[in-house]
């Protein structure tokens, strides 16, 4: 799995961007990496899973994948939280699957300068990680449906792709190094 930037995700000052979305399929480590990255940056962390409406949570808990339409309000809620944090002058790291280019474009509508940190993982490892989670609504049976719609960030997107099987500390360090490159 690659560890290369599709586009150098850095601002003119060379500092980490003010808005980062840690993305990927269930089980890739979005929350764990996002929390650690937000801590390293002194940024606010937004847990996208907590912003799902109850209907979406119930649907996923039943093993039913979400449709594009069902994701719209959820993506908007994440985008609004990002925009509010940026509006307050706070850096922000959000965990959000952002599986399709259209979802990422929707988030860009709230904050054009978002950098996506894509945690790339293979299906077997993702299924195993999701199956071992306790107290989460997302069943391992939905992992394949996420891979089925996944559109990895393109070379023209402001994104950094990292191998999600690496330790969290390494992922955060690599993200920080890549985002500071000029």
Report the SS3 class of residue 5.
strand
Q: Average of pLDDT values for 123-148? A: 83
- 48-102 pLDDT, tens per residue? 989 999 999 898 888 898 899 999 999 999 999 999 999 999 999 999 999 999 9
pLDDT of residue 5: 36
Q: Say if CB 17 and CB 11 are below 8 A apart.
A: yes
pLDDT of residue 139: 65
For residues 107 and 77, what is the distance between their CA atoms, to the nearest angstrom?
A: 9
**Global pTM?**
0.87
Residue with tokens 């989670």: 133
What one-character-per-residue DSSP string does 60-101 give?
HHTTPPPPHHHHHHHHHHHHHHHHHHHHTT--EEEE----SH
- 155-177 pLDDT, tens per residue? 999 999 999 999 999 999 999 99
Cα–Cα distance list, 67 to 73, 106, 160 (Å) = 11, 15, 26
Confidence of residue 178 (pLDDT cuts 50, 70, 90): confident
- 5-38 pLDDT, tens per residue? 333 333 333 454 589 999 999 999 999 999 999 9
């Amino acid at each position: 799995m690659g560890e290369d930037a599709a586009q150098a995700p850095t601002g003119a000052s060379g500092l980490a961007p003010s808005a980062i979305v840690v993305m990927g399929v269930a089980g890739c480590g979005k929350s764990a990496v996002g929390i650690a990255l937000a801590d390293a940056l002194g940024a606010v962390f937004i847990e996208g899973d907590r912003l799902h409406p109850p209907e979406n949570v119930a649907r996923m808990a039943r093993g039913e994948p979400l449709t594009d339409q069902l994701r719209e309000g959820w993506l908007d809620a994440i985008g609004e939280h990002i925009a509010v944090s940026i509006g307050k002058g706070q850096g922000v790291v959000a965990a959000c699957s952002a599986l399709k280019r259209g979802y990422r474009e929707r988030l860009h509508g709230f904050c054009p300068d978002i950098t996506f940190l894509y945690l790339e993982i293979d299906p077997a490892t993702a299924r195993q990680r999701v199956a071992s989670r306790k107290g989460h609504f997302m069943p391992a049976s939905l992992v394949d449906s996420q891979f089925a719609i996944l559109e990895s960030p393109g070379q023209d997107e402001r994104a950094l792709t990292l191998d999600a099987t690496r330790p969290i500390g390494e992922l955060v360090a690599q993200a920080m190094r890549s985002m500071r490159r000029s």
